[in-house]
């Protein structure tokens, strides 16, 4: 693989996790561009993630030292870009910021440096639009926590070259991620379209009084949620038969939520300041202990599934 040097812009929640992923490869070097003093906090974030993996017996202290030996932090744009083979931006979800960063990077990076964006939903084509070499811009959508969730959606913008797609996929496989190829630059790519189709229906069921929020989650956790990692929708449709799937869809689709606007109930929650974990109340009420438990148990569960620890 000819990619050796990765540079991260925006070392926040996602940027620090992604830096950690690449620094986990012995033959890669990671440079993190630091803009403001507080951004050095990314080191603490990475340390805390790695310590959790150490406590669970996934890695040892020597591995943590090795990972940090492959990470360099710099406040110099020249230093951050001069050897970069693959840049990934994890700066805030703002089109102009992302466009301007890539446009500016063309003045610093080699002409063949790949520019990857970790945008959650925005168009790769539009993010690339101020670049001269638009073919080098690709979407690499990691999921939080980036160091645990295997999936990365590799998204082709209208101008992204096949070679850049292939190189991004090769790099991510090398970093022990599970990249998938997204052939069209559409909002939500693949996984968020699926996820939010489910959330729209879930919220609608609560809004219509069919079941309360906790019950909706129970329905998922104790039924198809259990088998999803082994049996996802397309295989499931073949398993039960496309004929049965057609019969079910002919009957049910007209009854499902199809609003193209966010739910009024969701809007009302936000207006009332019922923001979920952030305020202790959303669709359900949450004590600080329950919030801590939910966050901790999710990571423990993911470590168990991924590392069997």
Ligand X SMILES: NC(=O)c1ccc[n+]([C@@H]2O[C@H](COP(=O)([O-])OP(=O)(O)OC[C@H]3O[C@@H](n4cnc5c(N)ncnc54)[C@H](O)[C@@H]3O)[C@@H](O)[C@H]2O)c1
Residues lying near ligand X in the complex (CB under 6 A): 9-15, 35, 39, 90-93, 97, 118-120, 142, 144
* Residue with smaller CB distance to ligand X, 152 or 164: 152
* Residue with smaller CB distance to ligand X, 10 or 179: 10
* Residue with smaller CB distance to ligand X, 143 or 286: 143
* Residue with smaller CB distance to ligand X, 155 or 204: 155
* Strand, helix or coil for residue 141: strand
- Cβ of residue 34: shortest distance to ligand X, in angstroms? 9
How far out from the chain centre does Cα 245 lie? 30
Q: Strand 137-142's sheet: what is its strand order?
A: 71-74, 29-33, 5-9, 86-89, 114-117, 137-142, 151-155, 178-182
- Cβ of residue 33: shortest distance to ligand X, in angstroms? 8
* Strand, helix or coil for residue 144: coil
Q: Are 87 and 105 in contact (CB under 8 A)?
A: yes
**Which of 75, 153, 154, 145 has its CA nearest to residue 114?**
154
- Cβ of residue 225: shortest distance to ligand X, in angstroms? 20
- Cβ of residue 142: shortest distance to ligand X, in angstroms? 6
- Inter-axis angle of helices 42-55 and 61-69, nearest 10: 150
* Residue with smaller CB distance to ligand X, 194 or 239: 194
- Burial of 103 from C-beta contacts in 10 A (0-12 / 13-18 / 19+): middle
- Cβ of residue 17: shortest distance to ligand X, in angstroms? 8
């Amino acid at each position: 693989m000819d990619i050796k040097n990765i540079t991260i812009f925006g070392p926040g929640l996602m940027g620090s996790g992604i830096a950690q992923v690449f620094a986990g490869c012995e033959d890669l070097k990671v440079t993190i561009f630091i803009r403001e003093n507080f951004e050095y906090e990314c080191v603490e974030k990475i340390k805390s993630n790695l310590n959790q993996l150490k406590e669970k017996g996934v890695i040892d202290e020597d591995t943590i030292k090795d990972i940090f030996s492959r990470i360099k932090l710099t406040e110099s744009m020249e230093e951050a870009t001069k050897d970069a083979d693959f840049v990934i931006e994890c700066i805030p979800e703002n089109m102009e910021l992302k466009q301007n960063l890539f446009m500016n990077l063309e003045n610093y990076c080699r002409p063949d440096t790949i520019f990857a964006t970790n945008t959650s939903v925005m168009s790769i084509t539009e993010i690339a639009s101020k670049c001269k070499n638009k073919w080098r811009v690709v979407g690499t959508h990691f999921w939080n926590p980036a160091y645990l969730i295997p999936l990365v959606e590799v998204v082709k913008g209208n101008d992204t070259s096949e070679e850049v797609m292939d190189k991004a996929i090769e790099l991510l496989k090398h970093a022990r991620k599970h990249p998938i190829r997204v052939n069209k630059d559409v909002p939500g790519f693949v996984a968020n379209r699926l996820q939010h189709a489910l959330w729209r229906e879930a919220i609608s069921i609560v809004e219509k009084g069919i079941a309360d929020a906790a019950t909706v989650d129970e329905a998922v956790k104790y039924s198809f949620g259990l088998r999803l990692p082994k049996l996802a929708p397309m295989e499931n449709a073949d398993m039960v038969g496309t004929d049965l799937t057609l019969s079910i869809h002919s009957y049910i689709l007209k009854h499902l939520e199809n609003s193209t606007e966010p739910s009024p109930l969701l809007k009302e929650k936000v207006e009332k300041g019922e923001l979920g974990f952030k305020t202790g109340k959303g669709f359900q009420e949450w004590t600080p202990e329950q919030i801590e438990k939910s966050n901790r148990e999710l990571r423990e569960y993911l470590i168990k599934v991924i590392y069997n620890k």
